[in-house]
Structure formats: C-alpha cells, structure tokens
Chains A and B, each alone.
Chain A
Amino acid sequence: MTPMTAAGPDRIGSGATIHGAAGRRMPRHGLRARLRDLLSFRWAAAALIFIGWFVYYPIVDNFVVSTTEEDIFTGEVTHVGLANYGRLLHDPVVWTSLWNNLLYAVISVVFQVFGAFLLAAIIEGLREERWRRFWRAIYFVPSAISITVTGLLFYFIYQPDIGLLDAALTRLGLDQLARPWLGDEGTAIYAIIAMSQWQGFGYSTLLFAIAIQKIPRELYDAAVIDGAGPLRRLWNITFPLTREMTGLMVIVTVTGAFQVFNEVMVMTAGGPNNSSQVLGTWLYQQGFIENNFGYGAAIAAVIFLVTLVTGAAQLWYTRRRRVRL
C-alpha cells in the first residue's frame, strides 16, 4: 500500500467496459463499426497535430540542422557531416558548461530532494493543520514567481553596492567574505545555483508534503506505542514510504538541471569569461548571438541525449515501481 500504486499501470483500456452495454445493441465487428471507431480519432487529432508538428518534428529537424553550417552573410547552407560534433569535443566552454550543469544537478538533489524531504517531514510533524498549511504556502511563494523576477532580484542582492548579501556580511563582521558574487569567476555559478535553490525548494517540499500525507496515520500510532522516537519514525516509516517520490524527484531534478537556462541568462548570461555558462546558455550564445545555427543545434543535441537518458530512467523507474506516470 504505497501512495502512488493506487492506479494500476495499464488503465488505458478501461473505457471498454462502458461500451460493453452498448456493444450488445449494435454489433461491433462490422466494417461500419470499424470506421466509426476510426472516427473517434478526431478527439485526439488536434493534440497529435500540435505535438507532432511543434514538439517532435523540431527535435528531428534539430539533428538535420546540426550537420549543416550556414554562412551568415550569403545564407548559403553547407553540409558538414559530424564536424559540429567534433568541434564540441574541443570546445573548452562545452566542458565548463557540462561541469556547471553537473554541479547544478548535484546541489539541487541535495537541497531540493533530500533537504525538501526533511523540511516536509518537519512541517507535516507540526500539530496544527493551519500551521502546516502556513509553512507550506510561505516556502512555496518564490516558486510561483517568474524566474526573471527572482533572477533580477538576486542579481541586485548580489551587487556589492546596493545588494543585501554583502551588506549583511558586513553587519555580521564578515567583511572579508563580501565580494561581487556574480562578477567573480569563482563564485558566479554558485551564486546562481544558490538562487535556484531558494526559488525551487518550496515546490519540492510541497510535493513531498503531499506524499507524506498519504501515509496511513496508524503506522505512526503503532510506532509510538512501540516506543519509536521521532528520528526512528522518520527513518523507518516516512523515508521508505516516500521512496518512490524521492526516486522520481531525483530524476526530475537532474533532468531540470541539464535544461537550466533562465536564471543563468538573466543573472550573468554565462559570464564572467564564460565561467557560469551552462549548455542552455551556450546554445543560445552560439545559435542566436553568434548565428552558428549548426553548432547551436549540436549543443542542443547533447542536451537532448542527456535528457533522453534521464527520461528513460524515469520511465524505467515508474514502470518498475508501478508509479503512475
């Protein structure tokens, strides 16, 4: 009895029972019936067109673009085979970006999965529902706000002249730590990642809180009677019973970390000196600022491959654990 096995993995055909009754009135195996069934495709037609045209096709096209190079001045397109991919390997910024994406993934997993899990457990352990609701809502607020706003906000917070952070450090007597966080090659990416944790942890806390609420209360009551303390209950009940959620969140967070774009774009655009570049912003820089469509598409292909792997992991995980996809 775990929260997310409620719906079996294969409920697709359950509509059939509804038509069992109708089926008695009109036999369903004739050609006309087949045609009538085919007509039901119209319900999905719009979705199939939208997704096929604007989601799937561009991804395929991206691979085609990635084997070409376009002259900005003449607009002449030449086919260069896999040259753009070869260039990837020798581009130091690609490696910086990959490393930054990886940092993003690891730090986000620590704070937005395990940190959020602990926080959700603390909140759900409060006695009064109205306080639980209060904290969940408070922590969620940054997630509701546009990343452009929070990005700009932290851009200001990190400024040495008007920002909050350096002012706070000075007040605390930690002047030597004060610095232009986003202007320093050593700290820029960490400053951005920190902002991202600030914005995102409330969202995953809310998801964990929902998962924890689904754990039957009796388990805790029984554990209390057996003399288990709060930490024991956390480790032996809450953690194992939200493991599906944790697994899923790890995968989703890692996927997100390799697609990150907005906050880096708003706060540093990859600078200073490409030190905070991630794959998404490097793609933008190459594809749209320097007009290297082909090379930009090759970077996009790398992102695609990484997310394909994490996506497959997600599919495999949800199937195996029979979590509702």
Chain B
Amino acid sequence: MTMAAPLPRRREANVWAVIGRTFLLAFLICLGVVVIYPLLWMALNGFKNNAQIFGDPFALPDGWSWENYVQAWNQGVRDYVTTSVLVTLASAACTVLVSAWTAFGLTRTRMPAKPLVVGFVLGGLMLSPTVAVIPLVRMMQALGLYNTEWALIILYTAFRIPFTTFLIRAYMLDLPGDLDEAATMDGASEGQRFWRIALPLCRPIIVSCVILHVLFAWNEYLFAMIFTSGADVQTLPVGLTSIMAKHGTNYAEVFAAMTISALPIVIVFFAAQRYFIRGLAEGIGK
C-alpha cells in the first residue's frame, strides 16, 4: 500500500522492483523465524529430558511425552494459574467498571470542574509504579493487605484506571447524543442512562479495555513480585521465577512451565485480535 503500492501493471517488467520485492520478502521471513523460533524452542524443550537439553539445542525431542508439562502443572503452576486468573479477572472488572463510571460522569453529566477531573485522572498516566513502590509497601503493610491477592487487585485497578478511563471517555465523546437526550426528556435518571444506554453502546470499547487489561495483569511482574511472597498468593510471572529457583536444575520442567504460562495469553491475543487492535488504535501512544 505504501512502499510497494500496487503499481499500474506495466508491460515492461521492472527487474529491480522484482528483486526489491524478493529481498523484502526474504527479510520478513528471516525476521519471522527470529521471532518464532525461540518460542518454538521453548515449547519443544518442554518435551525433552535434561540429557537432551544439554545435547544439540537444534534437535527435535526424542519423544512427545507430556510428562514435564504434567509435572510442572502439578508442582505449583496450577496454583499460580488460579491466582493469576483470580487477580486478572477481579482487577479487570473493577478497572472497567470504575473507568466507565468516570467516563460517563465526564461526558454525560453536568458534573462541575470537568477539566480538573480529567487532568487529575489523566495525570495518573504519567506516574509509574516503580516510583511509588516503596511507600506502597508500607501502606499495604499498614492496611494488612501485604501478601494477599487484594494488594494486587487494588493496585492493578488504581494504576490502570487512568488509561482505561481515557479510552472509554474518547469512545463516549464520539457517541451520538440523541438517545441520551430522548431518555432525559422521558425523565430517565443518570443511573438509568448509564446502565441502559451508555454502557450497552460502549460494549466494543469495553471489550477492548478488558482485553488490554487482561494482557497487562496476566503479565505484570514488579508489583506481583514485591507484594506477594507466599506460594499460595503468587501469580504466574512470579511463580515462574520461584519454580526456576526451586527446580532450576530440572530445565525441562521449567521450559514446560514457561510454555504453559505463555500459551493462554497468546491464544487470547489471536482470538481477540480485532478488539485488541481497536483498543490500541484508540489509545495510541501508551
């Protein structure tokens, strides 16, 4: 479309264009191999035993036994997955609900001082978790939430509200106002207008927001590492490093555990690509 925008078919075949296109295609393929091969290697190593792993790294596994995968699953990965699912879904629900309320208030009500609220919420985009982490540890200890799933749910929600609010607000601004206007005429309350009109109309962006949040929360490491220490409340990313520390010598099992934790999110991405890209397109730049 751009570099090689379809040329009007000319009779005289342009040799250089063909060479150029072949070269670019070769480049795309090589880059694709560099991207995909390490991931394939990771999954394949999960089928090997330690002796094979120390052998030729390019060799295929001797057999296709799921033993390492089963073992990894039973030796902790199951618990980490449970925690990850819980934390991810709970924080996604909180984040999206709170953000949708805020976006509604900012676009569909006569709330005073809107620019100030917008500035306050979006200003949060610029503050990074790294900077807040030392005070947050003491705060969570004081609240008695340290080393609980709640710490992660609360923090994931708080730090993702600015971005999510920004996405939903932008979407609500572009929605036509007629339905809202009609509902107000009919005496609908703000609450009714939110639940019955705004929220259903925003479904596409809500789905995008949920997916972006899932991607974030499933993979988050800094907070998860600092705020949880017990195996029963660790999420997958932290759990993986624990497995690595515990069974570090049994490489095959570590590879299997890594593959198990990568797979769900890759599937989510491919299944929900459309929504995901919409979310990115709306929220470009963050």
Contact = CB atoms under 8 A, between A and B. Distances in A.
Nearest to B1: A124
Contact of B184 (A18, A153, A215): A18
Interface string A225-264: 0000011011001100000010011001001000101100
B63 to A, nearest CB: 19
A7 B173 contact: yes
Most chain A CB within 10 A, of B5, B53, B219, B266, is at: B5
Contacts of A304: 127-128, 131
B105 A40 contact: yes
Interface stretch (A90-98, A102-110, A179-187, A280-288): A280-288
Contacts of B219: 145-148
Nearest to A225: B8
Interface in A297-324: 297, 300-301, 303-304, 307-308, 311, 314, 318, 323-324
Given A22-B184, A47-B161, A212 B1 contact: yes
Given A40-B105, A164-B38, A233-B2, A139 B32 contact: yes
Interface string B37-62: 11101100100000001101110000
B67 interface: no
B186 to A, nearest CB: 11
Nearest to A127: B6
Contacts of A28: 110
Nearest to B36: A138
A76 interface: no
A18 B180 contact: yes
B126 interface: yes
Given A7-B174, A22-B184, A50-B158, A144 B266 contact: yes
Interface stretch (B71-79, B132-140, B201-209): B132-140
Contact of A47 (B7, B101, B134): B101
B117 A125 contact: no
Interface in B87-126: 98-99, 101-102, 104-112, 114-115, 117-118, 120-126
A323 B2 CA distance: 23
A230 B5 contact: yes
B222 interface: yes
A221 B8 CA distance: 9
A147 B126 CA distance: 21
A22 B127 contact: no
Contact of B134 (A224, A287, A314): A287
A210 B130 contact: no
Contact of A153 (B38, B158, B280): B38
Given A152-B254, A237-B2, A62 B135 contact: yes
B interface residue count range (under 10 / 10 to 19 / 20 to 34 / 35 or more): 35 or more
Contacts of B173: 7, 11, 14
Overall SS of chain A's interface: helix
A44 B237 contact: no
A65 B135 contact: yes
A157 B31 CA distance: 17
B57 A137 contact: no
Contacts of A190: none
B54 A162 contact: yes
Contacts of B244: 152
A15 B265 contact: no
A121 interface: yes
A126 interface: yes
A83 interface: no
Given A122-B24, A252-B286, A287-B134, A37 B258 contact: no
19 contacts: A4-B284, A37-B109, A43-B194, A50-B158, A51-B121, A56-B124, A138-B35, A144-B266, A148-B241, A149-B237, A156-B255, A198-B34, A220-B5, A230-B20, A284-B226, A287-B133, A300-B131, A303-B131, A304-B128
Please list the 8 inter-chain residue pairs (A to B) with the smallest Cβ-Cβ separation, ordered nearest first: A43-B105, A311-B126, A125-B3, A54-B158, A58-B132, A148-B237, A146-B219, A61-B135
Given A288-B137, A307-B131, 12 more contacts: A7-B174, A12-B118, A19-B110, A37-B110, A40-B109, A55-B159, A65-B134, A125-B5, A145-B39, A146-B261, A152-B241, A245-B285
Interface of A: 4, 7, 11-19, 21-22, 25, 28, 36-38, 40-44, 46-48, 50-59, 61-62, 65, 119, 121-127, 132, 135, 137-142, 144-149, 152-154, 156-157, 161-164, 167, 171, 198, 202, 206-207, 210-213, 215, 217, 220-221, 223-224, 230-231, 233-234, 237-238, 245, 248-249, 252, 255, 259, 261-262, 265-266, 280, 283-284, 287-288, 293, 296-297, 300-301, 303-304, 307-308, 311, 314, 318, 323-325
